[in-house]
Structure 1
Amino acid sequence: MDNRLITIPYKEKSVEACVNIPDVTKNTGYGVILTHGAGGDMHFLQLTLLAEFLSSRGVMVVRFTCKGLNLAYRVKVYLHVVEYVIAHYKDTNRYFVAGRSMGARAAIGVANNVKGTTLDRTVAGVIALSYPLHTQGNKSALRDGPLYELNKPVCFIGGTEDEMCEQSLFENVLRNVDRYEVKWIQGANHALKVKGSNEEDVIADVGNFIFDWCNIKCSDNDDIANSENGKETKQIAKNSKRKSEGKNEISRKRTKTKHK
């Protein structure tokens, strides 16, 4: 496993990132691009542990730092990071965008922004850790709108005691969200910490769930692609047959005209 610190140019600034490259013998062919919440950075222990876990299973992981509370800015930076990673790491053919807390909101923003663009096929889905459905102490204003816009599969990881995402409220929201999976960590708060539990064990449990989910979604996408390719091949064959039949019909008409 190879870990590399890189700097990604962005306008007059730069973005600090770390790339966890798995062993060639384990490489799954897909990657995860991961970012932090409002107050952290890419060195946040939870993200480091998750990146190392997934990389040990053969997943390329890029985590990066983008500080600030402006969500629109963070989405723009995230999109730039996705474009940079795709351009520079061509051995990986699809990516899941992922984030924790505010980073989860940014990842969902990226998924909604790539619709109909050249990035649409490359972004395979979203991984949202501790999605902040509401602010602490105020459950009247929900951040649910972007969730309804998603057209990609999404995996939610949340704590049953998350003070920024009440479980019953979130489950009610999810009734109107397509193609989602959710894993609740019993007793975990917004930081996904559980009293009496080792953080490494919690993240290993989370990592296993994410790894299995990503594999299933990649398999689903392959099936869809094969189905679409099959339909396209059949359509080409039909068109070719129609053209051939049309030429034969023209030929028959010309032959009849000559005989007359």
Structure 2
Amino acid sequence: MGCRAAAALARQLSDESEDAMQGVICLSFPLHPPGQTHVHQQRSEDLRSLPEHMSVLCVSGTEDNMCDRVLFEGMVKEMKAQVEVFWLKGGSHGLTVKGRQEESVLAEVNLQVITWMNKQAA
């Protein structure tokens, strides 16, 4: 629930002050429990409610059983915040990919995160 907690905190802090948070990074946002896609609206409420000045990076695996890609992309369209999504091909909820070394996967994910962070700092 790290991503959900981060989104809730970012939403709360941004309600208090526009300068409190610049962005949120969500690694494997748990949009729904496995096989329970019907709860995606409730679980994404804080993320969808982030203000338009907030920047968000979401990194999810294409094989994540807790983040249906079609539902997630629909949710992203509803967001006011500036969102970038990186889909890790073959990635699970734990961002592991069958047939790939962990170091290789982490390097790919880290590159996306660092690139995004550098864009935010510019």
- Structure 1-normalised TM-score? 0.43
Match of 2:111 in 1: 208
- 2:112 is equivalent to residue 192 of structure 1: no
Q: How does 1:98-247 map to 2 (within 5 A)?
A: 102-117=1-16, 120-142=18-40, 143-151=43-51, 152-177=54-79, 178-219=81-122
Change (3 A) 1:136 1:116: closer
Distance 2:56 2:9 in 1: 12
Which amino acid in the other structure matches residue 174 of structure 1? V
Q: SS in structure 1 opposite 2:67? A: coil
Change (3 A) 1:116 1:175: closer
| Structure 2 residue ranges without an equivalent (≥5) | none
User: Cα deviation per residue 1:74-101 (whole Å; 9 max; x = unaligned)?
Assistant: xxxxxxxxxxxxxxxxxxxxxxxxxxxx
Match of 1:71 in 2: none
Post-superposition offset of 1:160: 0.3
Q: Higher strand fraction: Structure 1 or Structure 2?
A: 1
Larger Rg belongs to: 1
Change (3 A) 1:116 1:138: closer
Q: SS in structure 2 opposite 1:215? A: helix
User: Cα deviation per residue 1:109-168 (whole Å; 9 max; x = unaligned)?
Assistant: 1110112435x4242100000000001111111112112210211000000000000111
- Structure 2-normalised TM-score? 0.90
What root-mean-square deviation, in Å, do the aligned CA atoms of Structure 1 and Structure 2 show?
Answer: 1.3
Q: Which has the higher contact order (CA 8 A, sep 6+)?
A: 2
Which amino acid in the other structure matches residue 184 of structure 1? W
| Structure 1 residue ranges without an equivalent (≥5) | 1-101, 220-260
Distance 1:144 1:189 in 2: 19
* 8 Å contact kept, 1:132–1:165: yes
* 8 Å contact kept, 1:124–1:218: no
* 8 Å contact kept, 1:130–1:158: yes
